[in-house]
Amino acid sequence: MSKSITIVMPDDMHLHLRHSDMLDFVLRDTVKQFARAIIMPNLSVPIINTKLAVAYRDSILNSLGKIRGDLRCFEPLMTLYLTDTTTTDEILMAKESGVVFAVKLYPNSATTNSHAGVVDLFKNCSKVLDTLQRIKMPLLIHAEVSDHRVDIFDRESVYIDKVIIPLREKFPELKIVIEHVSTKEGVDYVYSSPEYTAATITPQHMLYNRNIIFSGGLRPHYYCLPILKSELHREYLVKAATSGDKRFFLGTDSAPHDVKSKENNCGCAGCYSSYNAISLYMKIFEDVGCISNLEKFASFHGADFYNLPRNKQTLTIYRNENIVPDKISFKNLNIVPLAYGETLQWSI
């Protein structure tokens, strides 16, 4: 049994860094494991243009400056929040900036801070989609319908039928990432599609099925969107992620909320996994005997899809039994990390 493995430094292709103290907190966990991350733009004031993206990047770099030593070489890859009024000029400016790498599509009111999200994609965003296709900038999709008449467990599969399939017909070479894919239908769509489609997969959707939300009581720290699905879907996701297929790559969707906003009569969606993301992914890959494919999933496939150079640095992961704490505190914040109370076999 090997005591350690060394892989090329991973990238987190879907991360919520937030701002202020939360940003300082999340960044410290992130830089230990990741050389780069795709930074989600759904702040309370969404990052809808290049000017805001540059300012947000500056605040991330400022926060990074407070971290010591060689951990500072982390690179934030910024994204723009697509709205019904985003212009093609804005997209071209984003590309020109050299710091914006993708555009995020939130269907209106589908998840946290998506109130400014797109109401009618085909009517209002066709020119922007055409530009994205032409300049090869990926469109990152929160692939769930926000129609509350649709059952919460079906919102991803309905979105694939209603939006992704027609979108692909209209824009055959548009680079699309189905973010945090959570269903067999989502994975099957990726399998069936050409080289321009990929998907990120979170640790929570591969570690747990929906039973955990209700095991022995209501457990708000397992509530995320897309919501956890049944065992069949979980197994299907693990198979896709660990297969070595280049269309699947690491995106934690780590989305911290203070414990007060989670344990609440209307608690926020999101799991915090930046604390120990690589240890969690190691567990998933080890459980199915596919550790040799972890590096492709965590360090190569994402960079390749985004046309970024692969990282030069490496990360060593050690076999080291450890118990995930029930809570982590920073200044006035208290966060419950994913897998709290569980014993993991690996650490960095």
- Which is closer to Zn ion, CB of 29 or CB of 253? 253
Integer CA distances (angstroms), 230 to 23, 54, 183, 205, 208, in order:
33, 40, 9, 10, 9
- Which is closer to Zn ion, CB of 10 or CB of 251? 251
> What are the φ/ψ torsions at residue 225 (nearest 5 degrees)?
-125, 130
From the list 188, 253, 287, 326, the catalytic residue is 253
61 known member of a binding site: no
Q: How far is the CB of 208 from Zn ion (least distance, A)?
A: 17
**Is 12 among the residues that bind Zn ion (CB under 5 A)?**
no
> What are the φ/ψ torsions at residue 4 (nearest 5 degrees)?
-155, 155
Binding window for Zn ion (CB under 5 A); candidates: 57-65, 114-122, 236-244, 252-260:
252-260
Q: What is the dihedral of CA 49, 51, 54, 60, to 10 degrees?
A: -80
42 known member of a binding site: yes
Q: How far is the CB of 16 from Zn ion (least distance, A)?
A: 6
Binding window for Zn ion (CB under 5 A); candidates: 98-106, 216-224, 228-236, 247-255:
247-255
Q: Report which residue's Cβ sits closest to Zn ion.
A: 253
Q: How far is the CB of 225 from Zn ion (least distance, A)?
A: 8
Give the CB-side neighbour count of residue 266, counting CA atoms within 13 A: 1
β-pairing, 328-330 vs 4-8, is unpaired
18 known member of a binding site: yes
**Is 253 among the residues that bind Zn ion (CB under 5 A)?**
yes
Binding window for Zn ion (CB under 5 A); candidates: 29-37, 95-103, 230-238, 250-258:
250-258
- Which is closer to Zn ion, CB of 229 or CB of 293? 229
- Which is closer to Zn ion, CB of 12 or CB of 90? 12
Between the two ends of the chain, the Cα-to-Cα distance in Å is 17
- Report residue 150 CA to chain centroid gap: 24
Q: How far is the CB of 282 from Zn ion (least distance, A)?
A: 22
Residue 314 has which token pair? 């490496």
Residue 242 has which token pair? 């660990």
* 199 SS3 class: strand
> What are the φ/ψ torsions at residue 71 (nearest 5 degrees)?
-70, -10
225 known member of a binding site: yes
Q: How far is the CB of 253 from Zn ion (least distance, A)?
A: 4
- Which is closer to Zn ion, CB of 253 or CB of 295? 253
Integer CA distances (angstroms), 100 to 39, 47, 152, 254, in order:
10, 11, 32, 20
Identify whether 253 is a catalytic site residue. yes
Distance of alpha carbon 137 from alpha carbon 174, whole angstroms: 8
148 known member of a binding site: no
Residue 62 has which token pair? 């400022």
Distance of alpha carbon 99 from alpha carbon 94, whole angstroms: 7
Q: How many residues does the chain have?
A: 348
- Which is closer to Zn ion, CB of 245 or CB of 253? 253
Q: Count residues binding Zn ion (CB under 5 A).
A: 1
Q: Label residues 288-307 b or e (16+ Cβ within 10 Å = b).
A: eebbebbbbbbbbbbbebbe
57 known member of a binding site: no
14 known member of a binding site: yes
Q: How far is the CB of 291 from Zn ion (least distance, A)?
A: 26
**Is 144 among the residues that bind Zn ion (CB under 5 A)?**
no
Binding site as annotated, residues for substrate: 16-18, 42, 142, 225, 257, 269
Binding site as annotated, residues: 14, 16-18, 42, 104, 142, 180, 225, 253, 257, 269
Residues marked active site are found at 253
Residues of the shown chain interacting with Zn ion in the complex, contacts defined by CB under 5 A: 253
Binding site as annotated, residues for Zn(2+): 14, 16, 104, 142, 180, 253
